[in-house]
Chains A and B, each alone.
Chain A
Amino acid sequence: MRPIRWLRKNLVVVFGVLTLVYLIVPNLVVLLFSFNKPNGRYNYTWTRFSTDAWQHPCGVAGMCDSLTLSLKLAVYATIGATVLGTMTAFALARYRFRGRATTNMLIFLPMAMPEVVMGASLGTLFLNMRIQFGFWTILIAHIMFCLSFVVVAVKARVMSMDPRLEQAAQDLYASPTQTFLRVTLPLAAPGIAAGALLSFALSFDDYIITSFNAGNTVTFPMFVWGSAQRGTPVQVNVIGTAMFVIAVLLVLAGQLLGSSRRKVR
Chain B
Amino acid sequence: MSAATAPVAGPAPLPDPAAPAPLPAALKKAARRRRAVPYLLLLAGVAWLLVFFVAPMVYQASTSVQTGSLDEGFKVTWHFSTYWDAFDAYWPQFVKSLVYSGIATVLCLGIGYPLAYTIAFRAGRWRNLVLILVIAPFFTSFLIRTLAWETILADESPLVHFLNTIHLLDVTSALGITEGDRVMATPLAVVCGLTYNFLPFMILPLYTSLERVDGRLHEAAGDLYATPFTTFRKVTFPLSMPGVVAGTLLTFIPASGDYINAELLGSTNQKMIGSVIQSQFLRVLDYPTAAALSFILMAVILAIVMVYVRRAGTEELV
Find B45's partner among A45, A147, A212, A228 (CB 8 Å cutoff).
Answer: A147
Whether A19 lies near B112 (C-beta < 8 A) is: yes
Whether B136 lies near A22 (C-beta < 8 A) is: no
Q: How far is the CA of A26 from the CA of B141 in the complex (A)?
A: 11
The segment out of A120-128, A161-169, A183-191 that lies at the interface is A120-128
Q: At the interface, yes or no: B225 with Cβ under 8 Å from chain A?
A: no
Residues of A within 8 A of B302 (CB): 112
Q: At the interface, yes or no: B35 with Cβ under 8 Å from chain A?
A: yes
Contact pattern, B 287-312, Cβ under 8 Å of A = 1, otherwise 0: 10011001101100110010000000
Q: How far is the CA of A30 from the CA of B144 in the complex (A)?
A: 8
Known: A44-B156, A84-B44, A205-B138. A121 touches B59 (CB 8 A): yes
Chain B residues bordering chain A, tally (CB within 8 A): 88
Q: At the interface, yes or no: B130 with Cβ under 8 Å from chain A?
A: yes
Residues of B within 8 A of A115 (CB): 254, 257-258
Residues of B within 8 A of A84 (CB): 44-45, 48
Write the nearest CB–CB distance from B96 to chain A, whole angstroms: 14
Whether A121 lies near B56 (C-beta < 8 A) is: yes
Residues of B within 8 A of A104 (CB): 314-315, 318
Whether A109 lies near B53 (C-beta < 8 A) is: yes
Query: Nearest B residue to A112 by beta-carbon distance?
Result: B305
Residues of A within 8 A of B237 (CB): none
Whether B114 lies near A117 (C-beta < 8 A) is: no
The segment out of B17-25, B166-174, B175-183, B275-283 that lies at the interface is B275-283
Query: Nearest A residue to B155 by beta-carbon distance?
Result: A44
Write the nearest CB–CB distance from B100 to chain A, whole angstroms: 13
Q: At the interface, yes or no: B274 with Cβ under 8 Å from chain A?
A: yes
Whether B52 lies near A140 (C-beta < 8 A) is: yes
Q: At the interface, yes or no: B54 with Cβ under 8 Å from chain A?
A: yes
Find B150's partner among A44, A94, A152 (CB 8 Å cutoff).
Answer: A44
Q: At the interface, yes or no: B145 with Cβ under 8 Å from chain A?
A: yes
Find A224's partner among B143, B149, B274 (CB 8 Å cutoff).
Answer: B143
Q: At the interface, yes or no: A75 with Cβ under 8 Å from chain B?
A: no
Whether B139 lies near A120 (C-beta < 8 A) is: no
Whether A248 lies near B114 (C-beta < 8 A) is: no
Known: A15-B114, A108-B314, A244-B140. A26 touches B46 (CB 8 A): no
Residues of A within 8 A of B294 (CB): 116-117, 120-121
Write the nearest CB–CB distance from B315 to chain A, whole angstroms: 7
Whether B54 lies near A212 (C-beta < 8 A) is: no
Query: Nearest B residue to A143 by beta-carbon distance?
Result: B48
Main secondary structure of the interface of A (DSSP, over half): helix
Whether A19 lies near B137 (C-beta < 8 A) is: no
Contact pattern, A 3-32, Cβ under 8 Å of B = 1, otherwise 0: 000000010110111111011111101100
Chain A residues bordering chain B, tally (CB within 8 A): 92
Q: Which of A86-126 contact B (CB under 8 A)?
A: 87-88, 90-92, 94-95, 97, 100, 103-118, 120-125
Write the nearest CB–CB distance from A246 to chain B, whole angstroms: 8
Q: How far is the CA of A240 from the CA of B141 in the complex (A)?
A: 6
Find A141's partner among B52, B59, B150, B301 (CB 8 Å cutoff).
Answer: B52
Query: Nearest A residue to B139 by beta-carbon distance?
Result: A247
Write the nearest CB–CB distance from A128 to chain B, whole angstroms: 7
Residues of A within 8 A of B305 (CB): 112
Residues of B within 8 A of A17 (CB): 118
Whether B41 lies near A90 (C-beta < 8 A) is: yes
Whether B143 lies near A87 (C-beta < 8 A) is: no
Q: At the interface, yes or no: A217 with Cβ under 8 Å from chain B?
A: no
Whether A244 lies near B49 (C-beta < 8 A) is: no
Q: At the interface, yes or no: B260 with Cβ under 8 Å from chain A?
A: yes
Q: At the interface, yes or no: B186 with Cβ under 8 Å from chain A?
A: no
Q: At the interface, yes or no: B134 with Cβ under 8 Å from chain A?
A: yes
Whether A23 lies near B133 (C-beta < 8 A) is: yes
Q: How far is the CA of A155 from the CA of B259 in the complex (A)?
A: 31
Q: At the interface, yes or no: B135 with Cβ under 8 Å from chain A?
A: yes
Known: A33-B151, A108-B317, A124-B56. A23 touches B119 (CB 8 A): no
Q: Which of A135-166 contact B (CB under 8 A)?
A: 140-141, 143-144, 147-148, 151-152, 155
Residues of B within 8 A of A225 (CB): 143, 260
Residues of A within 8 A of B200 (CB): 23
4 additional A-B residue pairs with CB within 8 Å, beyond A88-B46, A124-B281, A125-B52: A109-B53, A110-B49, A116-B274, A255-B132
Interface residues of A (CB under 8 A from B): 10, 12-13, 15-20, 22-27, 29-30, 33, 43-45, 83-85, 87-88, 90-92, 94-95, 97, 100, 103-118, 120-125, 127-128, 140-141, 143-144, 147-148, 151-152, 155, 201, 204-205, 207-208, 211-212, 220-221, 224-225, 228, 232, 236-237, 239-241, 243-244, 246-248, 251-252, 255
Return 14 A-B CB contacts under 8 Å, by A number: A16-B114, A16-B117, A18-B111, A20-B130, A26-B148, A27-B148, A87-B41, A91-B38, A117-B294, A117-B295, A205-B142, A212-B278, A243-B141, A247-B140
**The 9 A-B residue pairs with the shortest CB-CB distance in the complex, in nearest-first order:** A114-B257, A16-B118, A247-B139, A88-B45, A15-B114, A121-B56, A95-B38, A91-B41, A26-B148
